[in-house]
Structure 1
Amino acid sequence: MPTMSELVTAHSSQSSADDLNWLHALLNDLQLLADLAFADIVLWSPSADGGFVAVAHARPSSAATLFYRDFVGQQIKPDWRRLVTDAFERGEILDSSAPDWFEETPTRVRAVPVFRRTSPSAAQQQVIGPIAVLTRHTNLSEARMPSRQELTFNDCANDLFRMIASGSFPQLTAPTGPRRGAPRASDGLIRLDVDGITIFASPNALSAFNRIGFSGELEGESLAQVVTDLLPQRFAVDETLPLVVTGKAPWRSEIEAKGVTVSLRTIPVFSEGLRVGAIVLCREVTELRHQEQELITKDATIREIHHRVKNNLQTVASLLRIQARRSNSDEARESLTQATRRVSAIAVVHDTLSHGLAQSVDFDEVFDRVLMLIAEVASSHGTRVHPMKRGAFGILPSDYATPLSLALTELVTNAVEHGLAEREGNVVITAHRSDEGLTVSVRDNGVGLPEGKVGSGLGTQIVRTLIEGELGGIIDWHTMSGRGTEVTIAVPFRFGNDRD
């Protein structure tokens, strides 16, 4: 299914980047509007032919949906077109004059023009639009006497609709992205007046505050005073908290007391440019925060393990290097030097993993560091090598990075030691990544393989074991007449997250 940006861009030539950003901000709260209104909410973008196309749809979690089939990307129904067109052209909120029937279900449709503001500053802002139309589709077949909570939720929805039609919602100073555990209407809702006094608190909101030590009724109380009394004396107060609990800023904050954490989100309510109150959403997120803390602790532990493994490998490499210097046999010295290089290549991967949270690495960064090890090999053989990397490896999981870096180290080292021994030349490493896997070629312009035969030494055995055994790939050696040797390896991706 195409994204909202793709739909808007495809059907309208008038929408600007600022319009799209505003619609994306509105999209983040489309579910909140559906839950508050107990209705399906559809966002319509004007199309070049004078009609409208559905670019987003939110179904209510607080009531049964009317639209079981997704019609995002479709043109507006003829039954709704006149109402939506009038709301767009007049820039006013309009309601259907008679029930609209959808699949034998009576509904009421409200069309809300979407305006945007150019700046959060009242002195500088301009109202642009309409840039789209939002429709609310209410199911009339389930009409009954609404509860006080339902009436309050609907009032909150109508306040937000009026703010959308005046360019006051979404609010430019609100957080730009959703935070894990962000409260929803069903989690708990508190309605404040302009002075920050609670005029309504849903049962779930009251329960959340009861868990952090409040015993009483929130209604009639100053939310700021309630929160102040609940906080421990030595509690480090988030600087955003006072503005959130007084309803003055569209921000998020958290309260922590008695081992319980409650997340708060405030939406100031404006009418004709003046703040008249606020909607405060709240949610008890203790378990979520505990899980996040556990993940942070585990990530730190894993990074520390990688750091220690890297240190241990560097120690081993240093010991091997010392042993090589003291060896009296050229063959033993060469073997220890090669072992040092292999251990150092593995250490590079662990060093990279120790700096990040994810168990994956930017292999281009790893390989650039591995290439630095080749300079040591070239200098010890009296060779001037010009290594060049083409293409990109991208992000790879650590279980790919370690064997691949070791195998490529062997291949490039082999090109330097044998193909370019005692001469100047080039080694070109080319990486090509696709959805199916990774293809890498190592090519030198040296003497080529003797009689086209693949070597049978330890380095070749290591490469075969790593590429064919551990990574399930294939490897091909071939000599290019008078142009050196090229080795190509192809490694398939085994898991979907290998493509990250």
Structure 2
Amino acid sequence: MTNFSVEELCTLHTSLSKMDVERIKEVSGNLPLIADLNQANVFVDCPTKEGKHAIVVAEAAPNTAKSVYQKPVAGKFAYEAFEPAVLYTLRTGKNMFLNRALTQEGKTVEQSVVPIKGSEDRVIGALIMEKDISEKLQRQLKLEALSEATETLSGILIGMAENRPIIPEVIEESLFFIDQENKVVYNNPSATNLIHEIGKEDCRPGVLLIDCFPCIQEILNEPEELLVKEMKMMNKVFRVKKISLDVDGKSNGTFIILKDLTELREKEREIVVKSVAIREIHHRVKNNLQTVASLLRLQMRRGVPEESKVHFVESLNRISSIASVYEIILSSSSVDEVDIYSLIEKVGNMLVHEAKHEQKKIHIQYKGPKILIDSDKAVSLSLVINELIQNCVKHAFKQMHEGKVDVCFEYSNDEIKVEVIDNGEGYSPNAKPSLGLDIVKMMIEHDLSGHFLIKRAETGTIATVQFPFERKEE
């Protein structure tokens, strides 16, 4: 496998960046050494654009041992049904060692998978090592699972020995076992029910499966021993699995497994429609809030009493902080979740910018991990953060022209903790109660089921907000 071939496969089948592709090429260049050192076949798989499967972009067979594969697999897809460890590692970034797996040529191997990470610690691929299990074990498995006689296959694989079905009788999927001529040898009860649903009298042994399902011919013509494909038949959507039982190049029959995905796909379609509707609602709410804010600004430009101006500004900031929630949702791929860091940063920067008009130089910085919360919680939190930072801007630096505000948040023990710290004049417990702090207490206690504490520090004030990540049932 040349570097150009790796780049070509990544470009055609994945969404990796150029930097990520270079990282994959770098790892792929070491595969021959890794294969010889471990006496094993090694591969690099990358997630496809759709994210449902993986694509083999590079491979190497050992010169120090017999290869597990007779045919190249680079360029073939790895399906989750047959490669669960690979897809698990790609999605979670976790290692999988000494996992028993079935290769695309039907051989049992010992498989280990580790993630390949790119920039920002993102998983961009998986490095896979597959070792052939001992010939003795392979021989035993073949004798048990791949007998050349159809009658033995029925007894061992289909579970008809002693008239006691083992697995196929209870699974929901419709299972057919066909011989080399594509004639039905066995079908389970679910398959029988499916035959009746399509108006066929029966699918008895000896009947061609394509007589009942003409579309199956397409998947039977594919050369792959293991194949998963989604197909439309009889106004329904099915996931079709083909498992060919080949020994030394000779076919011992094929399993065809059908699963009805119609209801699942319909629910997915409904979710997409609902997601679009939710985003449209968010868009309208944001527009309405911006309209209200524009009206307030227009009124302020036309003139308001000086004693009322501060109340207009506070109301304008509250409306703008709520609008920030919906702006963040609409600018992200999430349907109804908001990143806390982005929200706090947007609200804080807006308030500090307002402070510049009062000839105050306030420095603000933020610290915290990426945490997503529901939009309803985000609205309450945005108002809380607005009031606390606005409180710093308005009261902490009355006698100062320059100040500093730190906004820190963290997630621990299923709770989110936010601290707003300033180096201003310091909070006085005897100060007159303000509407802003009343809003904070109300939002924290009633909307977020949490608690609020504000205290004087050695220099300035520390305001602490703490609430459960998941709202408790009332």
**Same-fold call, TM cutoff 0.5:** yes
Structure 1, residues 360-404: CA drift from partner, whole Å, max 9, x if none?
Answer: 332222222222312332222222222111223612233321111
Structure 1, residues 7-43: CA drift from partner, whole Å, max 9, x if none?
Answer: xxxxxxx999979x99x987959xxxxxxxxxxxxxx
Q: Give, in angstroms, the shift of residue 281 of structure 1.
A: 1.0
For the 8 Å contact 1:381–1:417, the answer to whether it is kept is: no
Percent of aligned pairs sharing the same letter: 26
Partner of 1:130: 133
- 345-354 vs 271-280, greater mean Cα deviation: 271-280
For the 8 Å contact 1:477–1:487, the answer to whether it is kept is: yes
Q: Secondary structure at the match of 1:447?
A: coil
Q: Give, in angstroms, the shift of residue 442 of structure 1.
A: 0.5
Unaligned residue ranges in structure 2 (runs of 5+): 1-37, 46-77, 86-96, 101-106, 114-127, 141-149, 161-169
Q: Secondary structure at the match of 1:337?
A: helix
Partner of 2:266: 290
Match of 1:442 among 417, 420, 444: 420
Q: Secondary structure at the match of 2:157?
A: helix
1:397 counterpart = 2:374: yes
Structure 1, residues 233-285: CA drift from partner, whole Å, max 9, x if none?
Answer: xxxxxxxx933675735333333344433332222333235665432111233
Q: Give, in angstroms, the shift of residue 429 of structure 1.
A: 0.8
Cα RMSD (Å): 4.4
For the 8 Å contact 2:449–2:467, the answer to whether it is kept is: yes
Partner of 2:104: none
Residues 1:186 and 1:258: Cα distance change in structure 2 (over 3 Å): closer
Structure 1, residues 469-488: CA drift from partner, whole Å, max 9, x if none?
Answer: 3222222222224x222111
1:456 counterpart = 2:433: yes
Residues 1:452 and 1:346: Cα distance change in structure 2 (over 3 Å): same
Match of 2:174 among 175, 183, 188: 188
Q: Distance in 2 between matches of 1:493 and 1:366?
A: 16
Structure 1, residues 297-324: CA drift from partner, whole Å, max 9, x if none?
Answer: 2222222212221222122222222222
Q: Secondary structure at the match of 1:279?
A: strand
Partner of 1:243: 219
Partner of 1:486: 462
Structure 1, residues 417-465: CA drift from partner, whole Å, max 9, x if none?
Answer: 221356122110111211241221101112223x453452221221111
Q: Distance in 2 between matches of 1:27 and 1:425?
A: 57
Residues 1:455 and 1:399: Cα distance change in structure 2 (over 3 Å): farther
Q: How does 1:209-358 map to 2 (within 5 A)?
A: 209-212=195-198, 217=203, 223=209, 227-228=213-214, 242-243=218-219, 248=224, 250-272=226-248, 277-354=253-330, 355-356=332-333
Residues 1:493 and 1:248: Cα distance change in structure 2 (over 3 Å): closer
Q: Secondary structure at the match of 1:217?
A: coil
For the 8 Å contact 2:225–2:244, the answer to whether it is kept is: yes
Q: Taking structure 1 as the reference length, what is the TM-score of the superposition?
A: 0.58
Structure 1, residues 77-118: CA drift from partner, whole Å, max 9, x if none?
Answer: xxxxxxxxxxxxxxxxxxxxxxxxxxxxxxxxxxx9744599
Q: Distance in 2 between matches of 1:447 and 1:18?
A: 64
Partner of 1:208: 194
Q: Secondary structure at the match of 1:472?
A: coil
Unaligned residue ranges in structure 1 (runs of 5+): 1-13, 30-44, 47-54, 57-111, 119-124, 137-147, 159-183, 231-240
Matching residue's letter, 2:462: E
For the 8 Å contact 1:411–1:442, the answer to whether it is kept is: yes
Aligned length: 351
Matching residue's letter, 1:412: I
Q: Taking structure 2 as the reference length, what is the TM-score of the superposition?
A: 0.61
Q: Which has the higher contact order (CA 8 A, sep 6+)?
A: 1
Q: Distance in 2 between matches of 1:150 and 1:456?
A: 85
Q: Secondary structure at the match of 2:386?
A: helix
Matching residue's letter, 1:443: I
Matching residue's letter, 2:430: K
Matching residue's letter, 2:416: L
Q: Secondary structure at the match of 1:251?
A: strand
Q: Give, in angstroms, the shift of residue 350 of structure 1.
A: 2.4
Q: Distance in 2 between matches of 1:375 and 1:445?
A: 15
Q: Distance in 2 between matches of 1:15 and 1:395?
A: 45
Residues 1:436 and 1:207: Cα distance change in structure 2 (over 3 Å): closer
Q: Distance in 1 between matches of 2:336 and 2:397?
A: 36
Residues 1:202 and 1:375: Cα distance change in structure 2 (over 3 Å): same
Q: Secondary structure at the match of 1:339?
A: helix
Match of 2:337 among 360, 369, 374: 360
Residues 1:357 and 1:424: Cα distance change in structure 2 (over 3 Å): closer
Q: Distance in 2 between matches of 1:270 and 1:222?
A: 20
For the 8 Å contact 1:267–1:279, the answer to whether it is kept is: yes
Residues 1:460 and 1:244: Cα distance change in structure 2 (over 3 Å): farther
